[in-house]
Structure formats: structure tokens, C-alpha cells
Amino acid sequence: MRRVISVLVLTLALPAAAWAQGKADFSGTWKLSKAEPAGYKGGRGSINLDPGPGAGWGATSATLVIKQTASQITVDSTAFGDNERRTFVYTLDNKEKVTDDPKHPGIEGWRWMLKGRWEGDTLVLFTYQGWNQVRDKLTLNGGQLTINREIDGQTGGSTSVTGPQTLVYTKS
């Protein structure tokens, strides 16, 4: 009987342990080393890797700070809006989380909708604000973080960004 229980416990525990080991850990401080952008709508032509204020929704962040647990991931970056640092917390259960924009608390049109999910060993993060949408697919390979980003920026003007980007970060 003891042997049967031991086999049963191992049978149930091993798949859970294998699943936990298979998920990448993106935690750390990451510096941008390569970008293949789609470019801005309007007069800018390409993404400046140090874009400064007004670079548009979905601008590339030169540094990412990521903290990850089994159930959520926190991304600190300058990748949205006016390029001030922002921290977004995504749950990894594919359920939408709504959070106020710190510069516009309580204003519905400025709220951020965030959700994350695993697709195999790829982490997919969705970020929405109004008509603006970003889908980031994060993968780790050889110590590099690659983000395949699809942006749909509907804010208009010369600083909106639309299209795919491939961003490669190295851990610092």
C-alpha cells in the first residue's frame, strides 16, 4: 500500500514540477541592445532609442525592470505615453485587470487594461488604453530577452506608432 501511495504522489507531483520548470523567468534589469521597428506614422520615420517626451504611445523603452512570480509579472518601463516611468502589474491568468493612469486617476478613458498569459514557453502581455493596443510576446534565448511587439496606436498625429517591432534586450 505504501508503494502504491508513493507512486501515486510521484505521478501527480512530476507533471506540476515539470510545468513550473518549463516557464521562463524574465526577472531582472534589461537594456535594449537591438530594435527592428516599424517606425512612426507621420514624419519621424524610425524609433529613437532614447525618445524623450512626446515620443508617442508604445515608444521603445531603453531599460526594462521586470519582477516575476508564478501568478504575476511586474514591468517597469518608459514604453507608454509621455515616457515617464510606469509600472504595470499583469496577472498571468489571461484575465483583464483595469488600473488607473497615475496622471489621470479616476478618468475612465485613461484607464489601462492589462492581461497576460502563457502560450507554451512564450509570455504574452496585452496592454490597452482607449483605442491604443500593444501585444508583447516575450521569449528568452541564450540570455537575451526578445519582445515581438505589435502596436496599434490610434491617437493620431506625428507620434503615433503602428506595426510590428522586434526588440532584443540583454540583462545588465
**CATH for 141:** 2.40.128.20
- Residue 115: phi and psi, rounded to 5, are -155, 155
Least confident residue range of 30-34, 55-59, 63-67, 91-95: 55-59
Contact at 8 Å (CB) between 151 and 59?
no
C-alpha cell at 10: 510521484
11 inside domain: no
105 inside domain: yes
C-alpha cell at 87: 509600472
16 inside domain: no
Which burial class, exposed, middle or buried, applies to 48 when counting CB atoms under 10 A from its CB (0-12, 13-18, 19+)? middle
Name the residue among 14, 24, 15 with its Cα closest to residue 146.
24
How many contiguous H segments (helices) and E segments (strands) does the chain have? 1, 10
C-alpha cell at 154: 490610434
Question: What local confidence, expressed as pLDDT, does residue 56 receive?
Answer: 55
5 inside domain: no
Mean pLDDT, range 148-158, rounded to an integer: 70
55 inside domain: yes
13 inside domain: no
Instruction: Give CA separation, 55 vs 13, 107, 151, 161, 165, in Å.
Output: 49, 23, 14, 9, 15
pLDDT for 116 beyond 50 = yes
Q: What span, in angstroms and rounded, lies between the C-alpha atoms of 40 and 163?
A: 9
Name the residue among 112, 108, 82, 78 with its Cα closest to residue 96.
112
Mean pLDDT, range 153-169, rounded to an integer: 69
pLDDT for 98 beyond 80 = yes
Name the band, by pLDDT with cuts 50, 70 and 90, for residue 119: very high
Mean pLDDT, range 24-50, rounded to an integer: 66
Mean pLDDT, range 144-165, rounded to an integer: 73
The count of domains in the chain is 1
8 inside domain: no
7 inside domain: no
pLDDT for 54 beyond 60 = no
Which range of residues forms the domain containing residue 35?
Answer: 25-171
The larger pLDDT score, comparing residue 92 to residue 154, is at 92
pLDDT for 43 beyond 50 = no
The larger pLDDT score, comparing residue 78 to residue 71, is at 71
